[in-house]
Amino acid sequence: MKFGILVNEGPYQHQASDSAYQFTKSALDKGHEIHRVFFYHDGVHNGSRLTTPPQDDRHITKRWTALAEEHDLDLVVCIAAAQRRGIVDADEMKRHGKDANNIAPGFHISGLGQLIEAGIEADRLVTFGD
Amino acid sequence: MEDEEYTGGVVKKFAYVNRRAPYGSIYALEALEVVLVGAAFDQDVSVVFMDDGVYQLKKGQDTSGVGMKNFSPAYRALEMYDVEKLYVEKESLQARGLTEEQLIVPVEVLSRDEIGELMEQQDVIFSF
């Protein structure tokens, strides 16, 4: 089965990102396909390169980066939600005259159209939120 | 807003379900943004308002006291994007003492059971 994954909450604040990760990992282990993981609302914060969670617990962002690298996943952060919340890549930094960028490796910023496309292309779109 | 054109040819039934009141959280506004971008993809779209989501459509919103932009006029733009199937749950309206006449756009009022039947027909459901 081909899945689209939607993550609507930020790391640690809600279980959503953890659940999405565990589901995605299990689906891949069972041989399913993950078309895209789309991060919306506060979910965009999963794509911040600057987090320093306590070392004795899971590093949510790095875990996504590692999974994406292992399985060639498409991790997309919504541009509108990212702008609103300050998740910035090199292009956005230039475009909006910011003095820094903070997007984590493996994540990239794109439009809401990518979410709709995932809904169209996947057999199931699974949402993880609050 | 992006300028996208979907040429894939697949048409699925998309339902956007709104369950939260506007302004108290971002979900109402950002859900609307998904609907508006999604309109360019020529899918079979229904937008459902239930629970506190019915408040999103209430007439006469005055947000001056909270310093937020009143985005309710955007619901009237949905028609121009060919998003015309707007459903409001009857029980949600009643529980909140609201009537259809108090809403800013024409909607179809459905019972909870009918909303359930509508959801069963959908291919993709977004719940905000």
Give pLDDT tens digits for B2-34. Answer: 456 677 889 999 999 999 999 999 999 999 999
A13 in contact with chain B, both atoms CB, cutoff 8 A: no
Tell me the C-alpha distance between A12 and A81, whole Å: 18
A115 in contact with chain B, both atoms CB, cutoff 8 A: yes
> What residue type is B114 in one-letter code?
E
Tell me the C-alpha distance between A38 and A43, whole Å: 8
> What residue type is A82 in one-letter code?
A
A111–B14 CB contact, under 8 Å: no
Tell me the C-alpha distance between B87 and A12, whole Å: 34
Chain A residues close to B8, C-beta within 8 Å: 120-121
B6–A6 CB contact, under 8 Å: no
B3 in contact with chain A, both atoms CB, cutoff 8 A: no
CB proximity list for A106: less than 8 A, separation 6 or greater: A64, A65, A68, A69, A73, A75
A128 in contact with chain B, both atoms CB, cutoff 8 A: no
Residue with tokens 């199937």: B85
In angstroms, the separation between the Cα of residue B37 and the nearest Cα of chain A is 6
Task: Kindly give the confidence (pLDDT) of every residue in chain A, 130 residues in length, as a single tens digit, with 9 standing for 90 and above.
Answer: 999 999 999 999 999 999 999 999 999 999 999 999 999 999 999 999 999 999 999 999 999 999 999 999 999 999 999 999 999 999 999 999 999 999 999 999 999 999 999 999 999 999 999 9
Range of the domain at A97: 2-50+57-128
Token representation of residue A122: 């996947």
Q: Characterize A85-99 residue by residue with b for buried, 16 or more Cβ atoms within 10 angstroms of its Cβ, and e for exposed.
A: bebbbeebeeeeeee
Of A40, A81, A113, Cβ closest to residue B2: A113
> What residue type is B87 in one-letter code?
Y
Quote the number of domains for chain A. Answer: 1
Chain B residues close to A84, C-beta within 8 Å: 26
Establish, for the pair of chains A and B, how many residue pairs have beta carbons separated by less than 8 Å: 54
Which residues partner with B18 through β-bridges?
B49
CATH number at residue A39: 3.40.1260.10
pLDDT of residue B5: 67
Sign of CA dihedral A34, B83, B80, B41: positive
Tell me the C-alpha distance between B10 and A116, whole Å: 12
Q: For residue B102, which of B73, B61, B63, B49 has the smallest C-alpha distance?
A: B61
Sign of CA dihedral A91, A96, A97, A100: negative
pLDDT of residue B107: 98
Question: Whole-prediction pTM value?
Answer: 0.96
Residues of chain B with pLDDT under 70: 1-5
Q: For residue B84, which of B45, B116, B115 has the smallest C-alpha distance?
A: B45
Tell me the C-alpha distance between A89 and A69, whole Å: 18
Cβ under 8 Å to A: B residues 32-61: 33-34, 37-38, 40-41, 43
Domains in chain B (CATH in brackets) are 13-127 (3.40.1260.10)
- The ipTM estimated for the assembled molecules is 0.95
